[in-house]
C-alpha cells in the first residue's frame, strides 16, 4: 500500500509540473496562478498521505478511521488556508487558471487505479 500511495503522489506532482510547463507556453503571466492552484491541491494531499502512511500497519479499524477523519479535516484546513491567503493577498490571480490547476490535481486521484496497477 505504501508504494501505491507514493506512486499516486509522484504522478500528481508530475502532472502539476506538466500543467505549469503547459501554462508557461500559453502565457508566462499565468504561472503564479497555476502554481498556487497546484500547490493548494498538492500540499494538503501530501500532508494527508504522509499521515496515512504512518498508519498503514494499524489493524484497529476504529483507530484507523478516526485517524483518517482527523487527517482529512487537517487536509481541508490546509487547503482552505492556502486559498484564503492567495485570494486575500491582493495579487491579481487568474481564477480560471488557478482553479484549473487545483481541479486537475484533485481529479487526478480518479486515475489512482491506473497509476497503481501492478504494484
Write the pLDDT tens digit of every residue in 53-103.
Answer: 887 777 777 888 888 888 889 999 999 999 999 999 989 999 999 999 999
pTM of the model: 0.84
How many whole angstroms separate alpha carbon 70 and alpha carbon 64? 10
Residue 60, domain member (yes or no): yes
Question: pLDDT confidence of 19, banded at 50, 70, 90?
Answer: very high
Q: Domain for residue 26, yes or no?
A: yes
Nearest to 2 by CA among 76, 57, 53: 53
Cα gap 60→10, rounded to integer Å: 28
* Percent of the chain clearing pLDDT 90 (strictly above): 59
Within a domain: residue 118? no
**What per-residue confidence (pLDDT) applies to 1?**
67
Mean pLDDT of the chain: 88
Domain count of the fold of the chain: 1
Amino acid at each position: 500500500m505504501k508504494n501505491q500511495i507514493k506512486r499516486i503522489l509522484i504522478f500528481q506532482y508530475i502532472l502539476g509540473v506538466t500543467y505549469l510547463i503547459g501554462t508557461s507556453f500559453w502565457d508566462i503571466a499565468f504561472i503564479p496562478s497555476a502554481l498556487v492552484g497546484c500547490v493548494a491541491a498538492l500540499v494538503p494531499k501530501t500532508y494527508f498521505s504522509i499521515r496515512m502512511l504512518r498508519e498503514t500497519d494499524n489493524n484497529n479499524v476504529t483507530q484507523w478511521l478516526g485517524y483518517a477523519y482527523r487527517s482529512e479535516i487537517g487536509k481541508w484546513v490546509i487547503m482552505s488556508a492556502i486559498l484564503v491567503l492567495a485570494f486575500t493577498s491582493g495579487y491579481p490571480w487568474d481564477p480560471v487558471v488557478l482553479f484549473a490547476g487545483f481541479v486537475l490535481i484533485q481529479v487526478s486521484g480518479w486515475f489512482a487505479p491506473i497509476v497503481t496497477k501492478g504494484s
